[in-house]
Amino acid sequence: MSVVTTHLTEGVLIVRTDNPPVNALGQAVRAGLEAAISGAASDKNIEAIVLICSGRTFFAGADITEFGKPAQSPDLNDVCAVIEALNKPVIAAIHGTALGGGLEIALSCNYRVAVPSAKLGFPEVKLGLLPGSGGTQRLPRLIGVPEALTMIGLGEPVDARKALEIVLLDRIVGEDSLESDAVAFAREVALNKSHPVTSQLTHRTQRDDIDSNTYDQFLKSNARKLRGLEAPQACVEAVRAAVELPFPEGLRKEREQFIRLMNGPQSKALRHVFFAERTASRIEGIPDDTPTIPIEKVGVLGAGTMGGGIAMNFLTAGIPVTLIEREKASLDRGVATIRKNYEATASKGRLTTEQVERAMNLLTPSLQFDDLADCDLVIEAVFENMDLKLEVFARLDATIKQGAILASNTSYLSIDEMAGATARPEYVIGLHFFSPANVMKLLEVVRGAKTSATVLKTCMGLARMIGKVAAISGVCYGFIGNRMLSQRSQQAQALILEGAKPWDVDRVLTRFGFPMGPFQMSDLAGLDIGWNAKTSKSSTVREVLCERGRLGQKTGSGYYDYDENRKGHPSEETEAIIAELVAKSGRNQRSIGDEEIFERLLYPMVNEGAKILQEGIAQRASDIDVVWINGFGWPAYTGGPMYWADSIGLANIVRSLEANSVEVAPLLRAKSEAAESFIQK
Ligand code: T1G
């Protein structure tokens, strides 16, 4: 059965594609579309064509699995050309997400209609690419340069309302009557004497109407978001070509850039991340038909920063939350913070006030622990202390209905020990959110030795429902992310005692692509987390800084001195503190180059990743990439620590670790000696 079928009704040919899961424009789809549309040209019974898709969405783009393989005709550009050349009106009937090549198909149509819930976008820049089938040439001609630069350069989709506003859509039709409304629209426009051909539009791309600074201005105003990425520059140049060159030449320029980027390292790395994030949700070794537990009510214990953020994830997803605190003041503060966060998001236009109220109405704050009894899942976010956690789990076990899941948000501690405090260890799991919990995409799902497959599968499905990227971790100190982070932290502390400056360390990591380095991060979070003035004994740089009240940004100084704009500057006092500690230790300092700093910070993380793999803590190397990109800001355009290690060469990493007297993980050594890689073929 062809993935593309046709059906003639009332003079309108409905060309329907059914290529699950997302109607990606693979070769069979392209060939089917080309045949159906070419065949309509000479058929007098056909007055118009509607392109529509079955399943969850309109074409969601080119088939990314085809990239890097020999091209198969027809090319998507050919299909777009056939649509545009047709002597009859072609209407794109859009639902779900018309993305990438899907939007390019829609742009080559004469008209576009969509249901209210549809989204349209060019996410290629997030794959290290630019639209490669005319999108950069047709979109500016239809909606103008500023809107086109934003859609193509940032890669964010627009909803149907916005699409109608910027004339990307001709009409919004009924949510449940897309096909019939599209046919009616087709019959209506078939009466028009002429039909707009996007590539021939000129009214939005008159060179004199466009300030030549627009292009650079776009890149400058988005510099932070696009830092380190190659594709945005190519996107902007392609849009400029739509203004300055005839369509065929602009198309050629777009294609050149597309091929260059597709074969480049950044796009290969970003395509790896795209699939890795989806693979991470797969649980190895459990039956496909493992049942799951319906989660209709969630309890959160602790209304602090983490508890409040965690609660928001479920509220936003429409799941009622009972939020428990011991003291009214803390509970009220927690609820107020949740509301403040929602209102801040609404003020940026990312939520409506109705959505805020709907979320807040799902929240039930309470001082009564027993109010958790009928929850299907309870997540404790109390202080990171095992004695307290054991007490909490024993109490949860005695209070919460049978069959409910008991989860800990712990960052480091043993889920197995917590499970041991209950009579239901198979229902105990770790759900490690990253602060701010309502923003950070990563969720480490920590499976205890006795956690059941049902509980694990339930939590992985729940993670997707609340918009998280989840990776499974086994039980060890710090799970995947924090265990590797502690390697980097140890090296960073050693480096500043040996002679590197904190700002050297931070610079090396930010230049690599991290949003900030370890010392900037410590100052932002506050140096006094976990610090105790009573037991502090001036034995580390952090202790001395805290003893002197240099707690980070919040006190105007930490590792750095902060000016009135909270901009950090190297601190002579910090240098003096380090010098005093080194003098006391009797060691000498030396100048340390960026290359040594770089290798000593990152290579031990890869080494720890190899141990995590070897011990079965992570299911696969790509999960480690997913954790570090989504939880710790590892630059996605390098693929993540394990993919990136392959690019460096495992033998080079082993040599450097040995030179720095770091014990090489057996799996890393074995792969290096066998000239194998973690991920890259
Ligand atoms: N190609 C191949 N497979 C794809 C795919 C694609 N474009 N999009 C999704 N999949 C697979 C995905 O791997 C998963 O597989 C399943 O579909 C469900 O995806 C020429 C060059 C559409 C919003 O970047 O954003 O067009 O794990 O889990 O959460 O100029 O998928 O089930 O085996 O994400 O409902 C541009 C990428 C391509 C869109 C749906 N398009 N996809 O989200 O499902 S480049 C994109 C998405 C291009 C042209 C250029 C999302 C989604 P499996 P899912 P979802």
- Interval 163-172: pLDDT, tens: 999 999 999 9
Active site residue 104: yes
| Ligand 1 atom closest to 127 (CA) | 24
CA distances from 494 to 35, 497, 540, 557, 577 (A): 66, 5, 11, 21, 14
The answer to whether the CB of 142 is under 6 A from ligand 1 is no
Q: Which of 7-11, 283-287, 345-349 has the lowest mean pLDDT?
A: 345-349
Confidence (pLDDT) at 148: 97
Confidence (pLDDT) at 232: 97
pLDDT digits (tens, 9 = 90+) for 665-676: 999 999 999 999
The answer to whether the CB of 128 is under 6 A from ligand 1 is no
Structure tokens at 225: 């978001």
Report, as an integer, the average pLDDT of 179-205. 95
Q: Are 19 and 1 in contact (CB under 8 A)?
A: no
Chain center to CA of 607:
25
The answer to whether the CB of 135 is under 6 A from ligand 1 is yes
The answer to whether the CB of 29 is under 6 A from ligand 1 is no
Query: Which residue's CA is the closest to the ligand 1 atom numbered 42?
Result: 60
Confidence (pLDDT) at 680: 87
pLDDT digits (tens, 9 = 90+) for 144-168: 999 999 999 999 999 999 999 999 9
Confidence (pLDDT) at 652: 97
Nearest CA among 428, 422, 412 for reference residue 390: 422
With a cut of 80, say whether residue 634 has pLDDT above it: yes
Active site residue 124: yes
267 Cβ neighbours under 8 A, 6+ residues apart? 67, 127, 128, 129, 231, 261
Cα–Cα distance, 579 to 46 (Å, whole number): 84
Structure tokens at 279: 């693979």
Helix intervals (H) in 155-225: 160-165, 178-189, 214-221
The answer to whether the CB of 121 is under 6 A from ligand 1 is no
199 Cβ neighbours under 8 A, 6+ residues apart? 84, 108, 134, 137, 138, 141, 247
| Ligand 1 atom closest to 61 (CA) | 26
| Ligand 1 atom closest to 275 (CA) | 13
Nearest CA among 10, 14, 87, 16 for reference residue 50: 14
With a cut of 90, say whether residue 71 has pLDDT above it: no
For residue 305, the tally of other CB atoms under 10 A from its CB is: 14
Q: Which of 24-38, 249-263, 345-359, 419-433 has the lowest mean pLDDT?
A: 345-359
Q: Which of 22, 80, 441, 465 to mutate to test the pocket of ligand 1 (most atoms within 8 A of CB)?
A: 22
Residue 13 has phi, psi (to 5 degrees) of -90, 120
Q: Are 403 and 292 in contact (CB under 8 A)?
A: no
Query: Which residue's CA is the closest to the ligand 1 atom numbered 9?
Result: 22
Nearest CA among 204, 166, 203, 172 for reference residue 185: 172
The DSSP symbol for 618 reads B
pLDDT digits (tens, 9 = 90+) for 374-418: 999 999 999 889 999 999 999 999 999 999 999 999 999 999 999
Report, as an integer, the average pLDDT of 50-63. 97
Q: Are 430 and 389 in contact (CB under 8 A)?
A: no
Q: Which of 34, 47, 84, 104 is catalytic?
A: 104
236 Cβ neighbours under 8 A, 6+ residues apart? 149, 153, 215, 218, 219
Confidence (pLDDT) at 207: 85
Q: Which of 84, 124, 147, 325 is catalytic?
A: 124
Query: Which residue's CA is the closest to the ligand 1 atom numbered 16?
Result: 21
With a cut of 90, say whether residue 208 has pLDDT above it: no
The answer to whether the CB of 100 is under 6 A from ligand 1 is yes
Cα–Cα distance, 311 to 314 (Å, whole number): 6
Confidence (pLDDT) at 557: 96
| Ligand 1 atom closest to 126 (CA) | 24
Peptide bond before residue 146 is cis, with ω within 30 degrees of 0? no
Confidence (pLDDT) at 67: 87
Structure tokens at 540: 């580390």
Q: How far is the CA of 22 from the centre of ligand 1 (A)?
A: 6
Nearest CA among 474, 443, 475 for reference residue 459: 443
Q: Are 12 and 186 in contact (CB under 8 A)?
A: yes
Residue 429 parent element (H or E): strand 428-433
Cα–Cα distance, 666 to 641 (Å, whole number): 18
Confidence (pLDDT) at 642: 98
Report, as an integer, the average pLDDT of 99-105. 98
Confidence (pLDDT) at 253: 97
Share of the chain above pLDDT 70, in %: 100
Q: Are 369 and 397 in contact (CB under 8 A)?
A: no
Cα–Cα distance, 622 to 273 (Å, whole number): 8
Q: Which of 124-128, 435-439, 576-580 has the lowest mean pLDDT?
A: 435-439
With a cut of 90, say whether residue 91 has pLDDT above it: yes
The answer to whether the CB of 511 is under 6 A from ligand 1 is no
With a cut of 80, say whether residue 1 has pLDDT above it: no
pLDDT digits (tens, 9 = 90+) for 232-275: 999 999 999 999 999 999 999 999 999 999 999 999 999 999 99
Share of the chain above pLDDT 90, in %: 92
Cα–Cα distance, 466 to 362 (Å, whole number): 15
332, HSE (Cβ side, Cα atoms, 13 Å) = 3
Residue 507 parent element (H or E): helix 502-512
Give ∠ CA 170-176-182 in degrees, rounded to 5: 35
Amino acid at the residue 244: E
Confidence (pLDDT) at 32: 97
The pTM score is 0.93
Report, as an integer, the average pLDDT of 34-50. 95
Look-up: residue for tokens 């917590």?
A: 418
The DSSP symbol for 105 reads H
Confidence (pLDDT) at 427: 98
The answer to whether the CB of 104 is under 6 A from ligand 1 is yes
Cα–Cα distance, 183 to 10 (Å, whole number): 8
Q: How far is the CA of 60 from the centre of ligand 1 (A)?
A: 6
Confidence (pLDDT) at 667: 98
Q: Are 104 and 76 in contact (CB under 8 A)?
A: yes
Cα–Cα distance, 37 to 85 (Å, whole number): 10
- Mean pLDDT across the chain, nearest whole number? 96
Look-up: residue for tokens 């300092």?
A: 589
Q: Are 558 and 506 in contact (CB under 8 A)?
A: no
